[in-house]
Amino acid sequence: MTGALSIDGLSVQGAEAGQQARPRVLFVSHTGTMSGAELVLRDAVRPWAGSTAFLFEDGALAEALRGAGIEIRLARRGTGLSGLRRDASVLRALPKLGRLAGLALELARAARASDVVYANSQKAFLLSAIPARLVGRPIIWHLHDILDGAHFGRTQRVVQARLANLCAARVVVPSRAAADAFIAAGGHASRVTVVPNGLDLELDTRSPAALRAELGLPAGPLIGVFSRLAPWKGQDVVIEALARLPDLRCIVVGTALFGEDAYAAGLRAQAEHLGVADRVLFLGQRADVPRLMQAVDAVVHPSVDPEPFGRTLVEAMLAGVPVIATDAGASAEILDGGAAGTLVPPRRPDRLATALAELFADPDAFAPRTRLARDRALTRYGAAGMQQALSDLILEVTARA
C-alpha cells in the first residue's frame, strides 16, 4: 500500500507508510564556496536536519549546512580538487591520485554509516560513486551542470554519463535542457528526474527609488547583471551593449568565484576601452541580491553558453523585475518560451541593445510579462516544492535499496 510519510512537515508520497525509518542521508560536496549549486543544497537539506554532510573542504557551505542542523564531516586532508577546473583533463588530476584514494576510503566509511549517498556536484559524484557501490549504498547524483560540448570535453562527458549509468540510482537535474544534455552524452533517460531549483525570496516593501537612495545607486535607467564573473556568464556582452545605449547604466553584481580573475579584470578594461566605465558599477559579491534586483529597472541574464538552470532568473521573476535573458539552455523553459521575459540570442550585443531600447521605450508594455513571470516563479519554483520532490526521491531510492 502506498502511503504518506511525514518528514519535518513535508508529506512524502510513495513510501510505505509506517514501515520505513527515516533514512540516514550522506550529502557530499567537493567545494566550500557558495555558487548556485551550493545554495540549492543549503535549501534542499532543510527537511533532513540531523543528517550528515561530507565536505572536501571547509567554508561558507559548511557554515550554512551547520545552520540547517546538518552534521559536518570534513575530509581529513584537503583534496585541492576545487582548484581543478571542471574542464581540466584527467591527466591534471593524476598527481593528486594518492590523496584521492585516501578520500575514497573516507567516503566509503561515511557511506557505510548511511543509508543513501547524495552527491551534489560532479566531483563529489565521481569520487563517491564507486565507494558507495562497494559498500552497497545507493547514490543519487544531483547534476547541477549541463553536460554538453560547450562546458565539457567529450571524454569527460562520456565518462560521467557511463559512471552514472553504472552507479547512480537517480540523476537529478534542474531542467529539461540539463536532462537532454545528460541523455545526449550517453546517460540513460530512465535514470533522470527533473527537479527544478526552488527558492523563496524576501521582498522589500520600499519603492525602487527609496532602495536606490539607500544603496547609493544612481537615478535614471539602470539594469543589473547578477552572476559570478566567468566568461560563459557573458557579462562582457552587456558591457558591449551598453556602449550602444548612452543613457543606460548597469550594476554588475558577483565576483570570480572559481579563479576567473583574468576575466574579471578584463571586464573593467573593456569598460574603459569602450568609454563606458563611468556607467558600469562593479559591486562585487553581495549578500543582498533581492534588494538590488528590486532597485533596478531590468535584470539581464547574458550567459553565452547554455545554462543548466539560472537561479538569478527566478530571483528576478520573484522580485517583479523585467528579465532579458539569452536563449541558451534552461532560460526558455523558465521564462515560458519568452512569455515571461524577453529572450535574445547569446553573444549578440546588438540584439540585447535593441531589446533593452524597446523595454525602456515602453516599460508598461512589459508589465503583463513581469506579472506572469512572478506568478510562474511562485507556482513552479518555490523552495517547498523542490524540498518535497527531492525528499520523495531520497525516500523512494532508499526504499528500493
Which stretch in 66-74, 116-124, 281-289, 389-397 sits in contact with ligand UDP by CB under 6 A? Answer: 281-289
Answer for which of 123, 212, 228, 249 binds ligand UDP (CB under 6 A) is 228
Answer for which of 133, 188, 286, 380 binds ligand UDP (CB under 6 A) is 286
Which stretch in 35-43, 149-157, 203-211, 318-326 sits in contact with ligand UDP by CB under 6 A? Answer: 35-43
Q: Is 142 in the site for ligand UDP (CB under 6 A)?
A: no
Q: Is 259 in the site for ligand UDP (CB under 6 A)?
A: no
Distance CA 201, CA 383 (A): 9
Distance CA 70, CA 53 (A): 7
Which stretch in 25-33, 104-112, 125-133, 303-311 sits in contact with ligand UDP by CB under 6 A? Answer: 303-311
Burial bucket for residue 274 (CB in 10 Å: 0-12, 13-18, 19+): middle
Which one, of 57, 58, 54, 53, lies nearest residue 69 by Cα? 53
Which one, of 285, 315, 382, 398, lies nearest residue 44 by Cα? 382
Distance CA 117, CA 115 (A): 7
Number of residues that bind ligand UDP (CB under 6 A): 17
Q: Is 145 in the site for ligand UDP (CB under 6 A)?
A: no
Residue 221 · residue 247 · CB < 8 Å: yes
Which stretch in 74-82, 203-211, 222-230, 389-397 sits in contact with ligand UDP by CB under 6 A? Answer: 222-230
Residue nearest to ligand UDP (CB): 36
Which stretch in 164-172, 207-215, 225-233, 266-274 sits in contact with ligand UDP by CB under 6 A? Answer: 225-233
Would you say 133 or 291 has its CB closer to ligand UDP?
291
Q: Is 311 in the site for ligand UDP (CB under 6 A)?
A: yes
Which one, of 196, 252, 265, lies nearest residue 225 by Cα? 252
Q: Is 289 in the site for ligand UDP (CB under 6 A)?
A: yes
Q: Is 310 in the site for ligand UDP (CB under 6 A)?
A: yes
Q: Is 207 in the site for ligand UDP (CB under 6 A)?
A: no
CA distances from 343 to 256, 320, 351, 381, 397 (A): 25, 17, 10, 19, 37
Q: Is 42 in the site for ligand UDP (CB under 6 A)?
A: no
Q: Is 285 in the site for ligand UDP (CB under 6 A)?
A: yes
Positive or negative: CA dihedral 341, 347, 348, 349: positive
